[in-house]
Structure 1
């Protein structure tokens, strides 16, 4: 796993790049967040959908809710980048839509859109 920092003025975004699944459970998500927050000084994270276990996208597992609640509790903003059109779940589509209306969690199609959204947050 590599972590790159994209800085725009005072805004810093940690970009996670990996060929592995980096978030497979709540503890893994917390470890990643803590490492980035305290080592790199970032409270904004961009990660690819492929670096997150597929269970996250099955809302019945409650994994997404648990992980995202932890990130919110620690004041960390996250953008998950990837193609979400392939999911048939209406509840997941609604969840993604609602998240994208807020300012803490984003599900976006590409890296540029994610960086723009994350850098726009104070």
Structure 2
């Protein structure tokens, strides 16, 4: 599936396809934000599109990417199973917990959970 803007629970969402370019830098994040800009309020990125360094918080990549989305006022949703990453990192578990309490960055298991959160 290619990246596609669709309405989910009344909100325009750029749903990124599994086979798209990896998001491994802030430049990659800006490319995705650019694709969403003025067309979608939310970007849903499958876990497989994120570089593994995103989940190793010591690299700073997650913080840099998340900050770009916040700066451009585009919500980021990471979609998929990250249980292995969370089990290996207390810091990541805490980040996911705190992010999911807010409205700017969410981690969800699937698009159905995203729909529920948006509704």
TM score, norm. by length of structure 1: 0.87
Structure 2, unmatched stretches of 5+, are none
The 10-residue stretch of structure 1 (41-50 or 9-18) with the greater mean CA deviation from structure 2:
9-18
Distance in 2 separating the partners of 1:9 and 1:91: 31
Structure 1 residues 112 and 90: alpha-carbon distance in aligned structure 2, compared to 1, 3 A threshold: same
Q: Partner residue of 1:60?
A: 58
Q: CA deviation at 1:22?
A: 2.4
Q: 1:102 to 1:27 in 2, by over 3 A?
A: same
Deviations along 1:67-109, one digit per CA (max 9) or x if unpaired, are: 1011001001011011121121000000100000000100111
The aligned counterpart of 2:82 is 84
Structure 1: segments with no counterpart, 5+ residues: none
CA distance in 2, matches of 1:98, 1:112: 21
CA RMSD of aligned residues (A): 1.7
**1:27-64 Cα deviation digits (max 9, x unpaired):** 001111112214xx112111100011010000000010
Number of equivalent positions: 117
**Aligned residue for 2:107?**
107
The question of whether the paired residues in 2 share the 8 Å contact of 1:33 and 1:71 is answered with yes
Distance 1:97 1:21 in 2: 27
Q: TM-score scaled to structure 2, two decimals?
A: 0.89
Flag the 1:78–1:115 CA change in 2: closer, same or farther, 3 A.
farther
Tell me the distance in 2 between the aligned counterparts of 1:8 and 1:52: 22
